[in-house]
Structure 1
Amino acid sequence: MKFLTNEVKIALAAIVGIVILFAGMQFLKGLNVFSSADKYYVRFSDISGLSASSPVYANGYKVGVVEKVLYDYSQPNNIVAVMGLDKNLMLPRGTKAEISSDLLGNVKLELKFGPNPIDLIEKGDTIEGGMATGLMGKAADMIPQVEVMLPKLDSILAALNTLLHDSAITRSVHNVDQITANLGSTTNELNQLSSQLNHQMPQMLAKVDGVLTNTEGVTRQLNEMDFGATMQKVDRAVGNLEQTTAKLNSNEGTLGLLMRDPGLYNNMNATMRSADSLLMDMRLHPKRYVHFSIFGRKDR
């Protein structure tokens, strides 16, 4: 009698298929049936969607998975998650596990290591769990503040709507357009002026060079002048002027006497008046002073 009958072969094939199917399902869940892992327990009061096959990360690196979640119906606040971690991972005492989720709703478990890397947790021990205050937690904390701000935002939007429908705003916008156009034309004029200045700049620089050359020539002439001799001449001229002024102030000389002697001035004034009278009389009676006679002079 043969042992490997057709019925036995079919039974063995079914068993192998079931094992392969089970291993495949566990693999898809993130669990590896053929590898052993160190088990640790995490106590939660709320797991917030954490389930079996949820990944476990440490510093952003996947170190294991959640193998199963145990719910205590007698104590609803006592929920225990069983973690299967890599054998090479050592957990310091004080390590905590935090549940976090991303924007897509994927839930994972983050390990926060304790401060002392020497004092380690024994395999199979229980650690404390909690919720991570990630982006979603911060957003949830902001909801009450947002609710308080909503009425204010509503009033601000209403005020903005009223302001935007004001005709003055429209006129201001048109004025801004005109100002922008004026600025554009002004910019074009400035560009034209700049181009003209660029064309005229060589001539202006040539004139400036000429002025600088003349200035250098004048400076050179001033440097070549004998200021000592010039100042001596000026001193002599000032000295002569001082001597002339001194003589005028003294009684010496005609001008000095004329300026300081009133009698001389009066005599000269009287002489001038007499000469003026004589000239007037000669003009009125010339015959008294000039005589012409063919036959000789007559006695009067």
Structure 2
Amino acid sequence: MNTLKSKELKVGAMVLVAFSLLYVGLRFLKGINFFSSSNTYYAVYTHVDGLIPSNPVLVNGLNVGMVTDIEILQDQGNQLKVEMLIDRKVKLGPKTVAELASNGLLGSKIIKLNVETNISEPLESGAKILSQEEKPFTAVVADQAAPIVDKLEKLLTDFQGSGAEAKNMMHSLAQTSASVDSLVLANQYRIALMLSNISQTSAQLTTTLVALDPTLKNVEKITADVASTDLSETVDHLNNNLLALQDILGQVNNGEGNMGKLLKDEALYENINHTVQSMDSLLMDLKEHPKRYVHFSMFGKKDKAEKEKK
């Protein structure tokens, strides 16, 4: 009998130990370390958006604890009380804020502790922490998209306002294109004739340039010859000729030489002028009375005597 009771006690003890190990193991898998010292704090939220126990609690990205329990407070407007187990080494002050945030793109929730510096009076275990909830993803998207939506609305408004002008412009452009087409069709023969004339002119210009090529070569040769000529000698010779001409003009101006006397001697001018007038009178008289100066007769002096009698 005693042996039977002893076996039952052993079996009961083993079952108790097994359940204890299972409980500790499950809590350990959830992140609760029974062998480390921790403090318990809580914060109150209106929404937790998928936050569950065992979700991590972070300080500047470092895991310092975990969520242990979430309780609904129906007597406080169905707010949610979230309990957190925080490493005792992390001191929290009265201004510490527990911010509910998203962990990456998958949407899992975490709690970020915004811990102030220079904490003079740390909170005791079991104290309440200030809470802050992040904006829903839809609200964030709406805030980011609001400026874009405003710009799109303004763009659409401007486009609607300028739609009539664009339509009128397109209509005018179509009319202009039709007018140009009709003008081209009406003057198609003239355009073809003009293009033909341009082609002929181009051909003639090409022929002319070919014909001018020897002339251009001669000009180039003359230019080269002029460039190779000793210009200083030519200029000196020209200066000497100009000096000689200037000397001759000086003599003429001074009345020296035949040309100078002709230009400066008034008596010579009067004599020449009187002689020219006399010759002019003589020529006029000769033209009017040629018989006074010219006598011609086949019968000699008899003819002359008869004419004198008459």
TM-score norm. by structure 2 comes to: 0.52
Residues 258, 168 of structure 1: CA spacing in aligned structure 2 closer, same or farther, 3 A cutoff? Answer: same
Instruction: Name the CA distance, whole Å, in 2 between partners of 1:11 and 1:168.
Output: 96
Residues 51, 168 of structure 1: CA spacing in aligned structure 2 closer, same or farther, 3 A cutoff? Answer: same
Q: 1:263 aligns with which of 257, 263, 270?
A: 270
Q: CA shift at 1:17, angstroms?
A: 4.7
Instruction: Name the CA distance, whole Å, in 2 between partners of 1:76 and 1:123.
Output: 27
The answer as to whether partners of 1:38 and 1:123 remain within 8 angstroms in 2 is no
Q: Which residue of 1 aligns with 2:248?
A: 244
After superposing the two structures, state which structure 1 stretch, 15-24 or 104-113, moved more.
15-24
Q: Which residue of 1 aligns with 2:108?
A: 106
The percentage of counterpart residues that share the same residue type is 19
Q: Which residue of 2 aligns with 1:59?
A: 60
Q: CA shift at 1:140, angstroms?
A: 4.9
Residues 267, 240 of structure 1: CA spacing in aligned structure 2 closer, same or farther, 3 A cutoff? Answer: farther
- List per-residue Cα deviations over 1:175-223 (Å, max 9, x = no partner): xxxxxxxxxxxxxxxxxxxxxxxxxxxxxxxxxxxxxxx9xxx8xx78x
Q: Does residue 1:44 correspond to 2:48, yes or no?
A: no
Instruction: Name the CA distance, whole Å, in 2 between partners of 1:42 and 1:137.
Output: 26
Instruction: Name the CA distance, whole Å, in 2 between partners of 1:121 and 1:265.
Output: 145
Instruction: Name the CA distance, whole Å, in 2 between partners of 1:67 and 1:25.
Output: 10
- List per-residue Cα deviations over 1:121-162 (Å, max 9, x = no partner): 23424321111347554235568x59x96xx86x959x89xx
Residues 115, 139 of structure 1: CA spacing in aligned structure 2 closer, same or farther, 3 A cutoff? Answer: farther
How many residue pairs get aligned? The number is 251
Residue aligned with 1:16, SS: helix
Structure with greater Cα Rg: 2
Q: CA shift at 1:112, angstroms?
A: 1.8
Q: CA shift at 1:46, angstroms?
A: 1.4
Higher helix content, 1 or 2: 2
Q: RMSD in angstroms over aligned alpha carbons?
A: 5.8
Letter in 2 for 1:38: S
Residues 81, 115 of structure 1: CA spacing in aligned structure 2 closer, same or farther, 3 A cutoff? Answer: same
The answer as to whether partners of 1:47 and 1:99 remain within 8 angstroms in 2 is no
Q: Which residue of 1 aligns with 2:21?
A: 19
Q: CA shift at 1:111, angstroms?
A: 1.8
Q: Which residue of 1 aligns with 2:131?
A: 129
Residues 230, 45 of structure 1: CA spacing in aligned structure 2 closer, same or farther, 3 A cutoff? Answer: same
Instruction: Name the CA distance, whole Å, in 1 between partners of 2:37 and 2:10.
Output: 35
Instruction: Name the CA distance, whole Å, in 1 between partners of 2:26 and 2:109.
Output: 22
Q: Does residue 1:9 correspond to 2:22, yes or no?
A: no
Q: Which residue of 2 aligns with 1:97?
A: 98
Q: Which residue of 2 aligns with 1:254?
A: 258
Instruction: Name the CA distance, whole Å, in 1 between partners of 2:83 and 2:259.
Output: 138
Residues 230, 47 of structure 1: CA spacing in aligned structure 2 closer, same or farther, 3 A cutoff? Answer: same
The answer as to whether partners of 2:39 and 2:87 remain within 8 angstroms in 1 is no
Residue aligned with 1:94, SS: coil
TM-score norm. by structure 1 comes to: 0.53
Q: Which residue of 2 aligns with 1:83?
A: 84
Q: Which residue of 1 aligns with 2:70?
A: 69
Q: CA shift at 1:110, angstroms?
A: 1.4
Ranges of 4+ aligned residues in structure 1 off by more than 6 Å: 166-171, 271-277
